Structure 1
């Protein structure tokens, strides 16, 4: 399962708003998916990392789904 909470922390630390991401070319639907912890494309991940000047681990982390055996 993916968790994008590192993204929101990174954005806060760097002073980047969601509006700034949209202005830099991140699709509104992608932002909605990030809020809902849905999968995004590698291209979107690369774009976020470029905009925020960070690594993928500053955007996403993988957590074990404890509801699955």
Structure 2
């Protein structure tokens, strides 16, 4: 599962509000979709990295929900 917890931690650590993202051109609907845990495009991740000046690992993380192999 992909988690956006690092995004919200990065925002909090840097005192960046959702309003600050919106002022930089980040779509409100996309932000609210992320808050609900919905998937987003790599373009969205790229935009967040650019706005926040951070690596991808500060935006998303993978959490293994089970230990079973995929194949």
| Structure 1 position 65, deviation (Å) | 2.9
Count of equivalent residues = 68
Q: Does residue 25 of the first structure (1) align with residue 31 of the second (2)?
A: no
Residues 12-61 of structure 1: CA deviation (Å, up to 9, x unaligned): 11111000001111111111111111111111111100111100100001
Q: TM-score normalized by structure 1?
A: 0.88
Structure 1 stretches (4+) deviating beyond 3 angstroms?
none
Q: What is the Cα-based RMSD across aligned positions, in Å?
A: 1.6
Structure 2 residue runs of 5 or longer lacking an equivalent are none
| Match of residue 13 from structure 1 | 13
Pick the structure with greater CA Rg. 2
How many angstroms apart in 1 are the aligned matches of 2:62 and 2:33? 16
| Structure 1 position 62, deviation (Å) | 1.1
